[in-house]
Amino acid sequence: MATKPKPINAAMKKALRKAATHLAIKAPGLTAESKAYEVWLAFEAALALHNAGAIVQPRNHHDSATNIFYVRGGPGNIPYIHLAASDAPCHFLIVWKGGQLELHISLNHQPILRNNRHELDVSIVQRAFAHAARHDPKTRPYGGPRFIGVELKAYQAEKTLDKNIARSLIGLALDLDPGAVAPTVEFKTRSGDILVSGAFRSPQYFLLTTAQLRPSSERLLATYGIKHGAEIHPNSPAAQIAINDIVAAVETRLETT
């Protein structure tokens, strides 16, 4: 039997509407707390990018400007640009420092070498590849480069996340972007001479939650370069730090691309 969605926290609903107002769009009507959490974080990240100097524009699945933002109910692909539906999922166009990106919510991603898919709650990707996917009537999972990947977990504040959630995100990052967890590679001879070395440009992954994280989970995530944050909710100091980290990660990758 399906469990009944928890009621959306009043502070979350208020923060979601506030962020939508600042972005000049109508906040979607949501009935599940986890989805509200995803949309709130995405809107706050878009707003922070705007405040940092980026051009940020909400766009519908036809890739036209919109003031009504539709959100998919579960994981999905970038919708076909000629889809007749009027309520297909929207995204944000981000133009900053000579680059063009898109911010998506609950987007499926395709690993390069495997025939499966992974969902990221919030992802910032290269627009050229997203635009190509939008023109594919087969609506495949996004298969291009990522700048940011965010996994979100909305639980009661007193709950502590299981370490397996951190392990799962590391596995996801390794499957999608090996360079995210192994940024440099060296091949050495038995005597220690370096034959080949290389560095990868990789996205920044985040694990953010309204709940708590065990120190062991934090150490594990830090070992693999995944940023993390606990007690991430509207008006919390930790939330502002996490959002600032997302903006900084986007800026760093734009400057090195």
What average pLDDT does range 150-158 have in this prediction?
90
Question: Any idea which fold 10-256 has?
Answer: Trna Endonuclease; Chain: A, domain 1 (3.40.1350)
140: which residues sit within 8 A by CB, 6+ positions away? 77, 110, 133
Listed by start position, the domains of the chain span: 10-256
Q: Using one digit for the tens of pLDDT, what is the confidence trace for 4-18?
A: 445 568 888 899 999
pLDDT exceeds 60 at position 119? yes
What average pLDDT does range 67-88 have in this prediction?
94
pLDDT exceeds 60 at position 3? no
Where does the pLDDT of residue 196 fall: very low under 50, low under 70, confident under 90, or very high at 90 and above? low
pTM of the model: 0.90
What average pLDDT does range 47-69 have in this prediction?
97
How is the chain classified by DSSP, letter by letter?
Answer: -PPPPPPPPHHHHHHHHHHHHHTTSBPP----HHHHHHHHHHHHHHHHHHHTT-EEEEE-TTS-B-SB----SS-BPPPPTT---SS---EEEEEETTEEEEEEEEEEE--SSSS--EEEEEEEEEHHHHHHHHT-TT-PPB-S-EEEEEEEE---TT-B--HHHHHHHHHHHHHH-HHHH--EEEEE-TTS-EEEEEE---PEEEEEESSB--HHHHHHHHHTT-EEESS--TT-HHHHHHHHHHHHHHHHHHHH-
Q: Mean pLDDT of all residues in the chain?
A: 90
| Lowest-confidence pick of 33-37, 177-181, 225-229 | 177-181
User: Is the pLDDT higher at 183 or at 198?
Assistant: 183
Where does the pLDDT of residue 197 fall: very low under 50, low under 70, confident under 90, or very high at 90 and above? low
Q: How many residues in total does the chain contain?
A: 257
Where does the pLDDT of residue 189 fall: very low under 50, low under 70, confident under 90, or very high at 90 and above? confident
Measured CA to CA, the distance from residue 250 to residue 257 in angstroms comes to 11
- What is the percent of the chain with per-residue pLDDT over 70, rounded to a whole number? 92
Residue 226's nearest CA partner among 201, 250, 208 is: 208
pLDDT exceeds 90 at position 247? yes
Measured CA to CA, the distance from residue 164 to residue 92 in angstroms comes to 31
Q: Using one digit for the tens of pLDDT, what is the confidence trace for 12-40?
A: 889 999 999 999 999 998 878 889 999 99
